[in-house]
A = this chain, B = another copy of it.
Amino acid sequence: MHPLAEQVVKGEARAMARAITYIENDHNEKAELLKALYPHTGNAYLLGITGSPGAGKSSLVDQLVSHLRQLGYTVGIIAVDPTSPFTGGALLGDRVRMQTHAVDPEVFIRSMGTRGSLGGLSRTTKEAVRVLDAAGKDVIIIETVGVGQSELDVMNIADTTAVVLTPGAGDQVQAFKAGIMEIADLFVINKGDLEGADKLKAQVEGMLDVVKHDAPWRPPVIKTVSIRSEGIDQLWASFALHQKFLKETGEWARRRKSHLRSEVLEIIHYRLEKLVNDLLKTGQYDHLLTRVSNRDEDPYSAAQYLLKEIFISREGGKNE
């Protein structure tokens, strides 16, 4: 077994951090590492938490982690910010938050931004979650900002997804527009002590009456005041209830199988993409692109030609 994988499975925080760096940097031992970790995964409960910036997700997650620690669970957190394509790295908020649980060896926190290619974030997030899973974390929280396509892709990892709204933020309409109804297993009205919290709760319940009136699971709507730790126990109870529901209905296994299928597809796409980029990097097809640029050739015929070249090069090429 890969020595780093061995340390990860023992739950060593430093090894976990290094393994995730391997993943982010596409280290040449990454595939070996992930293969070694895989048999040790599948045990953690994966929670997705999403919502607009300013919804108070950070403090909510913070309180949830404290609650989970009191119950004796170990916790891993992956904080994802897909709106940051250039900077990558850590979110400001996480730096602050990391200090809250910094002295607790059973809590592991890592931030991830978009680096490199489109669709890459979903894949690297999955892989990072796998590291925490193999390390034996009981609950893994995947936290994202916003409700765009990237966030939805990231949420596709979780067993249970919670959407955080706040009164008066004007983002509830935005949330519904973005199809959040389809992915939310539960709703959190955070800053529940603010004016408009009850009205917002009623609006969400009203939407659920329409959209989920005959669904086997109706997403609960939970009011929290994260800065005063109110509603956190009820929030966790709702998560646990949803987990029970998933397991009893067989939906747990179905979701997980569907997520794995997506992951295998993502790996294939990533490798094919790499193959194409490597081929173009040789420069031997630059004349083709110039022809397209001059309108002597159209992009569709050029792509067709290159596809043939890829398959020809592959036949005599190396295995990877």
Contacts and interface: CB of A to CB of B under 8 A. Distances in A.
Interface of A: 31, 34-35, 38-39, 41-42, 53, 82-87, 114, 118-119, 121, 146-150, 152-153, 174, 177-179, 182, 253, 256-257, 260-261, 263-265, 267-269, 271-273, 276-277, 280, 289-290, 292-293, 295, 298-304, 306-308, 310-311, 314-315, 319-320
Given A85-B152, A260-B289, A265-B280, 17 more contacts: A38-B298, A83-B177, A84-B177, A85-B178, A85-B179, A86-B178, A86-B182, A118-B118, A146-B148, A149-B150, A260-B292, A264-B292, A264-B303, A269-B273, A272-B272, A311-B311, A315-B315
Contacts of A82: 148-149
Contact of A39 (B34, B290, B295, B303): B295
B261 A289 contact: yes
A43 to B, nearest CB: 10
Given A38-B298, A83-B177, A293-B256, A271 B303 contact: yes
Question: Top 10 A-B pairs ranked by shortest CB distance?
Answer: A86-B179, A267-B303, A38-B298, A148-B148, A257-B293, A272-B272, A268-B303, A35-B298, A83-B178, A83-B148
A87 B295 contact: no
Contact of A149 (B42, B114, B182, B264): B114
Contacts of A263: 299
A174 B280 CA distance: 35
A87 B177 contact: yes
B293 A260 contact: yes
A165 to B, nearest CB: 15
A179 to B, nearest CB: 3
Contacts of A147: 83
Contact of A38 (B31, B268, B295, B320): B295
